[in-house]
Amino acid sequence: MSVTAAPGSRFELTYDLEPFRAGLIEACGYGDLTYGGMEVGLMTDALLAFTIPGVVLAVWQLDRPVLTCIALAGENPDDWLADLDALGVWLAKDQGCTKLRCHGRPGWARALRKWGYRAQSLQVGKEI
């Protein structure tokens, strides 16, 4: 993917996951991608990460026609969810995608509902 920044957005492209390490490790507990896998994905351009520095980090994966936000780490989502949706829509269109998805815990479905997102699947798991 060749992207530099989202025009007019508070988000900026980053390759530094470290400030959000703890939140990403927690988020990864609900998916198949590890923190180390995200670092490799950023280095190989398989993933993109955007941040509002010190506030939130969003990691995106492109699998046309779908752009998926695979991890979010941040505080006070009411302060940045509108910006995250605008970034996702812009990035998806820029990359020729027709669908935008977010992976996350059930609370994200409620939080994103006002921007037209609906729960499409459920993933369950347990520690062994």
**DSSP calls for 46-82:** SEEEEEETTTEEEEEEEETTEEEEEEEEES-GGGTHH
Per-residue model confidence as pLDDT tens digits over 22-69 = 888 776 655 556 778 888 888 877 888 999 888 999 999 988 899 999
Compute the half-sphere exposure of residue 119: CA atoms within 13 Å on the CB side of its CA.
11
Its sign, for the CA torsion 52, 58, 63, 64, is negative
Q: Structural domains in the chain?
A: 12-115 (3.40.630.30)
The pLDDT of residue 100 is above 90? yes
Of the candidates 105, 110, 107, 100, the one whose C-alpha atom is nearest the C-alpha of residue 122 is 105
- Burial class of residue 89 (count of CB atoms within 10 Å of its CB; 0-12, 13-18, 19+): middle
Q: What is the pLDDT of residues 61-93, one digit of tens each?
A: 988 899 999 888 888 999 999 999 999 999 999
